[in-house]
Each structure stands twice: as C-alpha cells, then as structure tokens.
Copies of this chain bind each other. A is one copy, B any other.
C-alpha cells in the first residue's frame, strides 16, 4: 500500500453513507492491517511512524463515529511495536492485532444483538431509525417469530430503503414511513430499537438525525427506547461529545435560493434521560 492508495481508502470512508460506525471502524482496521503488511517502510521505527500517522488520519475522518477512534486507539496501544522488533515481525504483529480487533468487534455486535433480541417478545412490533447493522442482526434473529418492523426513510439519503429491502428479503413484515410520520407510528410499536454512532459517558446517544425525535415520541407515548451497540461506541468520561458531522447540502436536492442556507447535519444527540436501556455485548443496562 502506498500513500495514494491510502488516500483513496480515506476518501471512501469519508464518503461512505451506507455503513454504520461499527462497520466503518472495522473497515479502518482492515486498511491498517493491509498498511502494516505493505507500507514501504525500511525499519520498524519508520513503520511505527507511518502507521501512527495513518491511524490518526483515519480516526479524524468520521469524528461523530466513536468506535473508529476507540478501536484504532485500542489497536495502537495493544500492538505496542517496540523499536527492537524485527520489521517483518512488527508488520505481522500490527496486522494480526488489527484482524483480531475486527473479529472482537464483529463478535460484540453479534452478542449485543442476541441480548437485544432477548428483550423482545415474539410477535412484537419494533420501530427503528436509519440503518444499524446491529439492529439488522436483531431483525435477523427475530425472523419467523411473527415480529414486525417499522422503518423510517431517514433523509437525506434514505438508508431506511436498504433496511426495508433487507427485511423484505427475509420475509419480515415491514412498514416504511417518512421521518415526519415517526410520531404517528411510534404508537404502534412495542419497542424502539436504534443503534448508535457514539454513546457519551453519561449515556446520551449520537445517532442519525431524527433519533432524538423518535426518542421524544417514544417517551411521550410510553414506548421503551433501547439503544443497542457494542461497547467500543462508548466515549470515556473525560472526552467531549464528538463533532456532529455535516454533509453536502446537495444531498437535499433543492435549488440554490439566495439567502437560503441548506443545512445537512447527519447526527443528533438523544439525552440519556430518554433512553430506557443500553444494550451491549456485556448485557442490558436499564436506565436508573
């Protein structure tokens, strides 16, 4: 891997609107595994410097997505590339550690989904927002149990479509609505289940814009609101909330009108007080 190839990978992660934070974090680890093995370094010290630069660059690419930062930080700490390691060994240690973390993250998502599925009864109606691979895994586990899913469009790029298509393939009965109808349909849900891009130390949830509205409506209608994500998404106590990424106004497909500013913030923050329980690979933590 040379710098041009790396920059291409960075651009793809930056522009990815299809995958959630966990999937992109694992993709970043895969990029680092490849870089560890193939970067044109002459010594372990040079490799270390390169890998640190690449990891920091990747971690800054999607600031709202904490697992990227957390997993890359964890990778760097646990790889511990001593200067006296042989270059070939150092390459293999760093690559293997990245691959091990990918597997750990994948297992965490699976276990998290299993915990979430146990919170739900067969035949219940679940409502979600945006496209979370963890929520998708929960839906996969609930196949054939008479469950129904309410899926929101999730503007501007409508990730809800991909989710609805997947649920259709799996024969899970699905209701597809605009984001504006969230308040109308939350009354039909037995539970709301969303993923997260980040969870703040106090339990507040950074997720696709609209999640806060769904949480407000769920609370107002007495429907439990579950957040379901691997623990790499949690931020440490001393960390500030992440920057809320803003994407191109062009994604809203409106003309340019003089004096009209089109805003396209991708994430909002749902306060912890609106969350009924946080579900991770370690289990279910109900709100106090």
A residues neighboring B (CB under 8 Å) = 151, 153-156, 158, 161, 164-165, 167-168, 171-185, 208-210, 212-213, 216-217, 220, 244, 252, 254-255, 257-265, 268
* B260→A174 contact, CB < 8 A: yes
Query: Nearest CB to that of A215 among chain B residues?
Result: B183
Contact A259–B167 (Cβ < 8 Å):
yes
B177 touches A259 (CB 8 A): no
A268 close to B174 (CB less than 8 A): no
Interface of chain A: mostly helix, strand, loop or mixed? mixed
Instruction: Report if A212-B208 is in contact (Cβ < 8 Å); known contacts: A173-B259, A174-B261, A178-B155.
Output: no
Q: How far is the CA of A112 from the CA of B255 in the complex (A)?
A: 31
A209 to B265, CA, bound (A): 21
Q: Decide: B216 and A164 in contact? CB cutoff 8 A.
A: no
Q: A154-B180, A263-B177 are in contact. Are A168 and B268 (CB under 8 A)?
A: no
A213 close to B217 (CB less than 8 A): yes
This chain: copies in complex: 2
Inter-subunit contact A259/B155 (CB<8 Å):
no
A184-B265, A209-B180, A268-B184 known; A259-B153 Cβ under 8 A: no
Residues of B within 8 A of A153 (CB): 155, 252, 254
CB-defined contacts of A185 to chain B, threshold 8 Å: 263
- Asked whether, in the complex, the Cβ of B168 is within 8 Å of the Cβ of A258, the reply is yes
Q: Which residue of B lies closest to A267 (CB)?
A: B184
| Distance (whole angstroms) from the CB of A243 to the closest CB of chain B | 13
A133 smallest CB distance to B (angstroms): 19
Pair B263/A164 contact, Cβ less than 8 Å: no
List, in ascending order, chain B residues with CB within 8 A of A217's CB: 212-213, 216
Instruction: State the CA gap A174–B249 with chains docked (Å).
Output: 14
A271 to chain B, nearest CB (A): 8
Residues of the B chain whose Cβ atoms lie less than 8 Å from the Cβ of A158: 254
Residue ID in chain B nearest A256 by CB atoms: B168
User: B164 near A254 (CB under 8 angstroms)?
Assistant: yes
Known contacts A174-B261, A180-B210, A180-B213; can you find 14 more A-B pairs with CB under 8 A? A153-B155, A153-B254, A167-B260, A171-B259, A175-B262, A177-B262, A178-B209, A178-B264, A180-B208, A180-B209, A183-B216, A183-B268, A184-B244, A216-B216
